[in-house]
């Protein structure tokens, strides 16, 4: 049996942050993820906002990790080469909204955040398309935008480069407590570890139940979104929120770190069984349209190129980040709803530090860097010429909308956490994320996956098991029918 110091369950932004931080120590660590890729849960489908930190109640874990995490983003994303921009955020209010903004401002100040209330002239200078009746806003210049799945993938890749292991399509189905730690069973194997970290998101309560830990009551709320074509990118410059209400932060309008515009999310309660379905509803999308119209002018929702939904999992009103009192060596990071993306790097660092101290793991002098990336769409003609000379595949465009080359796709398939599906390629290099949504490049991406993985075209999947895109050859298909 493979023996580890720590096993992390769940390859979201939290689990991969813990794994990466643990790989900064001399340690043997493993991450088990049930899906075909990391970043397949909440960390795939969210707003991608690095919140400044005025929203969470002072003194909570949410407030502490939000502020600490946000401060880590500039250097972390530079180190991991992940799209991130500090664009600032506005909470927009009408005439009667000043008292509520004042509460948020005071909370922000108490949390140590740079925030101030600004009036219409200043708002207009930041956001020329703000709705006519918005007269006040809470301005937080430190807020940012990030690609949540690229961050999750980069954290996992960086951990692997530094000696960690990631096993995909391995759902944890049993955990036995032993004298020295745990034996963790998946559908494919058995692994032992001195410590186990439960970062399983919506599956967290089920994983808790495997060791007899508390079955926390989780609530799940779906958020529906529109993504607009890049040509709309000038319509908004900062992250624009309405005043929050009891359901959450409300419908926002913001640029994305990759140059699109994001509108949403709703907050629709769903039962546990639907927590991983992530389907949009027509009513949800209509609610987004109406929310946007109250906040901004000139937002052309008809330029949407994609709709999607993601599900938040909450337990009570704060994050749970603690070692179990019942089961020694079992660490729980649960109920990580918003601002979980913002908080994740700080949570990862803190949990890794605590575990390293308990297991007396020594810190490495330094971490190995990720291999240098190449993005055709960001490169200069000279850089492209040099790269294509080195390897002509970097001169062959496959995704025309996002200008992604064959070389970038091949590299994604052979990256530290390899892309084995069309969606995994898409999340790494953006092939299929543009206006045509893969209509043009998907067959070509499938051919490359088939060639590089040595599998027939009929076995190439969109995502998880059962999602083969072309499961029959045409003739066989007719025969089968």
By C-alpha distance, which of 364, 327, 333, 358 is closest to 346?
Answer: 333
Q: Are 3 and 430 in contact (CB under 8 A)?
A: no
- Only one of the segments 39-47, 131-139, 376-384, 389-397 lies at the binding site for ligand FAD (rule: CB under 6 A); that segment is 39-47
Catalytic residue among 51, 158, 220, 414: 51
Q: Does 284 bind ligand FAD (CB under 6 A)?
A: no
Please state the separation of Cα 111 from the chain's center in Å: 24
Closest distance of CB 47 from ligand FAD, Å: 3
CA distances from 13 to 226, 348, 402 (A): 22, 9, 25
**105/117 Cα distance (integer angstroms):** 7
Q: Does 336 bind ligand FAD (CB under 6 A)?
A: yes
Complex with ligand FAD: residue 164 or 446, whichever CB lies closer: 164
Closest distance of CB 336 from ligand FAD, Å: 4
Q: Does 108 bind ligand FAD (CB under 6 A)?
A: no
Q: Does 34 bind ligand FAD (CB under 6 A)?
A: yes
Instruction: Provide the greatest CA pair distance for the chain.
Output: 69
Complex with ligand FAD: residue 35 or 405, whichever CB lies closer: 35
**419/440 Cα distance (integer angstroms):** 20
Q: Does 32 bind ligand FAD (CB under 6 A)?
A: yes
Q: Does 261 bind ligand FAD (CB under 6 A)?
A: no
Closest distance of CB 315 from ligand FAD, Å: 11
- Contacts (CB under 6 A) with ligand FAD, residues 295-314: 310-312
Dig out the tokens for 299 from the structure: 């937002």
By C-alpha distance, which of 385, 439, 443, 367 is closest to 409?
Answer: 443
- Only one of the segments 28-36, 100-108, 128-136, 290-298 lies at the binding site for ligand FAD (rule: CB under 6 A); that segment is 28-36
**280/469 Cα distance (integer angstroms):** 22
Q: Does 83 bind ligand FAD (CB under 6 A)?
A: no
Number of chain positions touching ligand FAD (CB under 6 A): 40
Is 414 one of the catalytic residues? Answer: no
Dig out the tokens for 341 from the structure: 């993306």
- Only one of the segments 9-17, 77-85, 430-438, 447-455 lies at the binding site for ligand FAD (rule: CB under 6 A); that segment is 9-17
**55/66 Cα distance (integer angstroms):** 9
Residue 363, phi then psi, degrees to nearest 5: -75, 140
Closest distance of CB 221 from ligand FAD, Å: 8
Q: Does 56 bind ligand FAD (CB under 6 A)?
A: no
Q: Does 47 bind ligand FAD (CB under 6 A)?
A: yes
- Contacts (CB under 6 A) with ligand FAD, residues 166-185: 171-172
**240/339 Cα distance (integer angstroms):** 16
Closest distance of CB 199 from ligand FAD, Å: 5
Q: Does 13 bind ligand FAD (CB under 6 A)?
A: yes
Pairing of strands 190-198, 182-186: antiparallel
Residue 97, phi then psi, degrees to nearest 5: -95, 0
**92/94 Cα distance (integer angstroms):** 7
Q: Does 22 bind ligand FAD (CB under 6 A)?
A: no
Complex with ligand FAD: residue 155 or 405, whichever CB lies closer: 155
**312/262 Cα distance (integer angstroms):** 17
By C-alpha distance, which of 349, 435, 332, 267 is closest to 64?
Answer: 349
- Only one of the segments 7-15, 293-301, 349-357, 447-455 lies at the binding site for ligand FAD (rule: CB under 6 A); that segment is 7-15
Closest distance of CB 413 from ligand FAD, Å: 20
DSSP assigned state of 344: H
Closest distance of CB 349 from ligand FAD, Å: 15
Q: Does 201 bind ligand FAD (CB under 6 A)?
A: yes
CA distances from 337 to 97, 267, 312, 427 (A): 26, 12, 5, 21
- Only one of the segments 199-207, 406-414, 440-448, 467-475 lies at the binding site for ligand FAD (rule: CB under 6 A); that segment is 199-207
Contacting residues toward ligand FAD, per CB under 6 A = 9-15, 32-35, 40-43, 46-49, 51, 171-172, 199-203, 207, 223, 265, 310-312, 336-342
The catalytic site residues sit at 51
């Amino acid at each position: 049996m493979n023996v580890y110091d720590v096993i992390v369950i769940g390859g979201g932004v939290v689990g991969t942050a813990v794994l990466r931080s643990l790989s900064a120590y001399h340690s043997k660590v493993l991450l088990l993820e049930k899906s075909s890729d990391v970043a397949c849960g909440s960390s795939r489908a969210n707003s991608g906002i690095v919140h400044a930190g005025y929203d969470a109640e002072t003194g909570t874990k949410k407030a502490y990790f939000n502020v600490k995490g946000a401060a880590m983003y500039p250097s972390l994303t530079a180190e991991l080469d992940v799209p991130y921009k500090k664009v600032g955020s506005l909470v927009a209010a009408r005439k009667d909204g000043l008292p509520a903004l004042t509460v948020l401002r005071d909370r922000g100040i108490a949390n140590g955040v740079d925030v101030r209330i600004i009036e219409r002239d200043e708002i207009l200078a930041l956001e020329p398309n703000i709705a006519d009746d918005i007269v006040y806003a809470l301005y937080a210049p430190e807020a940012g935008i990030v690609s949540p799945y690229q961050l999750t993938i980069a954290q996992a890749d960086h951990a692997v480069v530094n000696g960690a292991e990631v096993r995909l399509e391995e759902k944890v189905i049993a955990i036995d407590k032993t004298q020295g730690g745990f034996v963790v069973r998946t559908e494919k194997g058995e692994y032992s570890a001195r410590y186990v970290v439960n970062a399983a998101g919506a599956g967290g309560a089920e994983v808790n139940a495997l060791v007899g830990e508390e079955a926390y009551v989780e609530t799940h709320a779906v958020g529906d979104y529109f993504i607009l074509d890049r040509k709309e990118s000038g319509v908004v410059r900062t992250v624009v929120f309405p005043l929050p209400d009891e359901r959450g932060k409300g419908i926002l309008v913001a640029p994305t770190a990759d140059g699109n515009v994001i509108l949403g999310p709703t907050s629709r309660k769903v039962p546990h069984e639907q927590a991983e379905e992530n389907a949009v509803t027509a009513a949800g999308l209509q609610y987004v349209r109406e929310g946007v119209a109250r906040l901004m002018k000139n937002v052309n929702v008809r330029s949407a190129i994609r709709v999607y939904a993601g599900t938040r999992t909450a337990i009570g009103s704060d994050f749970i980040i603690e070692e179990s009192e019942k089961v020694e060596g079992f660490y729980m990071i649960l109920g990580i709803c918003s601002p979980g993306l913002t908080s994740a790097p700080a949570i990862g660092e803190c949990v890794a530090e605590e575990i390293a101290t308990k297991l007396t793991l020594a810190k490495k002098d330094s971490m190995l860097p990720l291999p240098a990336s190449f993005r055709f769409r960001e490169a200069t003609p000279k850089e492209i010429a040099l790269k294509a000379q080195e390897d002509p595949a970097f001169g062959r465009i496959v995704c025309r909308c996002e200008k992604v080359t064959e070389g970038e796709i091949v590299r994604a398939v052979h990256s530290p956490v390899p892309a084995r599906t069309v969606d995994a390629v898409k999340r790494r290099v953006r092939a299929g994320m543009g206006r045509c949504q893969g209509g043009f490049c998907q067959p070509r991406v499938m051919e490359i996956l088939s060639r590089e993985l040595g599998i027939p075209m009929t076995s190439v999947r969109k995502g998880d098991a059962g999602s083969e895109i072309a499961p029959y050859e045409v003739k066989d298909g007719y025969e089968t029918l």
